[in-house]
Amino acid sequence: MAARRRNADGGDPIYRRRNLTRRSVLAGAAALAIPGSTGPSRAARQTVPFGSAIQAEIMDADAAYRQAFLDHCDLVMPMNALKFDLLRPTRETWNFEPADKVVDFALSHGKTTRGTCHVWWGATPDWVTMLDSEADVERALVEHIEQVCDRYRGRLVGWDVVNEVIANDPFYDGQSLRDTFWLRKLGPRHIPIAFEATARADPEARLVINEYDLEYRGPHFEERRVIMLSIVRQLQDANIRVDAVGLQAHLYMDREIDADALLRFSRELDASGVKLIVTELDIIDWQSPADPEAQDAAALEKVSTFLDAIFAWKPPEAVITWGMTDRYSWINDVMPRPDGNESRPLPLDRSFRPKPWLDLIKRRLASA
Ligand code: XIL
């Protein structure tokens, strides 16, 4: 109650005092406002769903893998199959089959599902990068969103509309947005273009702006949070709907979660009607002990601190892990342990045995 009263008084003024949420990250976005583009949001759920991202290419080959998602998840989403380059590798080729497989799998087993993502620097197909004019690029993006949303409308609860649009290190290099093909071709307005197209094409879907490195203490991470708040504010100022900020939550064991900052961040977003959703939770355990039990104990503490921080203001829309089992994780490929020991990033180990932090998440979500 006390916390709510503080919010009614205007919330923590830190961002406003510094006048940072007004920073013009999306210069020119207001020109894109279309009256009535703010559609109705889906009704809030009663309990917070637990979900995970599944790799379509592994589903057929590994029955235990498939079963893990059925046993533990309320929501099962495609990890990669709805990314632009996989859906449409050439202008002439659409490849809906893997995404269809995941969506059908989820829905036929009574799960919900959601999409990631229309715009991501890591998934722009070559044929798009070879388009010449700004108008052609904009048309390709909008058409892509329309066709994909048309196919899945009514079946996905929401979309990560844009993913990782904030510069990796804005604090040091002074750039707010990541230098991507989309930014170079369309400027910052690629963000409102994508949100507006998604809102139009799937008015019921929850629209999410998804991002990493918003969770930790330090000026680098504070800067990223400030930029996220300004993007959200500028979309809203342009009458463009954004329903939630996605915290990827790839949790580095060697970084400190900033609970105070996350509380301020959630309150600030909540005051604008925007929720949080945890979209890609896993553990990056470079620095944790090699002993699996000690590794899992350290991960439990990290996840617990993170959940406390996230739930401090209001429960998130969902908590989603980036896979279920250590057997298959991007961490093994991209960020392996320097000591050569096995990484344990996910809630089930390689033999599909649950770790203590899976139980913790489930208990936390059940009592939200
Ligand atoms: C990764 C997947 O896990 C890999 O399978 C794929 O090869 C590349 O993409 N942040 C994101 C995710 O937003 O989309 C990335 O997923 C991991 C980092």
Which amino acid is it at 283? I
Atom of ligand 1 nearest to the CA of 163: 13
Give the dihedral sign, CA 263/269/271/275. negative
Cβ of 82 closer than 6 Å to ligand 1, yes or no, is no
Would you say residue 15 lies in a domain? no
Nearest CA owner, ligand 1 atom 4:
330
pLDDT at position 47, please? 87
Annotation marks residue 280 as catalytic: yes
Domain of residue 132, residue span: 49-366
User: What is the CATH classification number for the domain harbouring 331?
Assistant: 3.20.20.80
pLDDT at position 46, please? 52
Would you say residue 31 lies in a domain? no
Would you say residue 282 lies in a domain? yes
Q: How far apart are the first and last CA of the chain?
A: 16
Cβ of 121 closer than 6 Å to ligand 1, yes or no, is no
Would you say residue 20 lies in a domain? no
Would you say residue 2 lies in a domain? no
pLDDT at position 368, please? 83
Nearest CA owner, ligand 1 atom 3:
330
Cβ of 249 closer than 6 Å to ligand 1, yes or no, is no
pLDDT at position 25, please? 63
Would you say residue 42 lies in a domain? no
Would you say residue 233 lies in a domain? yes
What pTM was estimated for this model as a whole?
A: 0.89
Q: List 112's β-bridge partners, or say none.
A: 75
pLDDT at position 80, please? 98
pLDDT at position 285, please? 92
pLDDT per position in the chain (368 positions), as tens?
A: 333 333 332 333 232 333 334 456 665 443 333 333 333 334 444 589 999 999 999 999 999 999 999 999 999 999 999 999 999 999 999 999 999 999 999 999 999 999 999 999 999 999 999 999 999 999 999 999 999 999 999 999 999 999 999 999 999 989 999 999 999 999 999 999 999 999 999 999 999 999 999 999 999 999 999 999 999 999 999 999 999 999 999 999 999 999 999 999 999 999 999 999 999 999 999 888 899 999 999 999 999 999 999 999 999 999 999 999 999 999 999 999 999 998 999 999 999 999 999 999 999 999 88
Cβ of 329 closer than 6 Å to ligand 1, yes or no, is no
pLDDT at position 281, please? 99
Would you say residue 23 lies in a domain? no
Annotation marks residue 164 as catalytic: yes
**Domain count across the chain:** 1
Catalytic site residue from 215, 268, 280, 317: 280
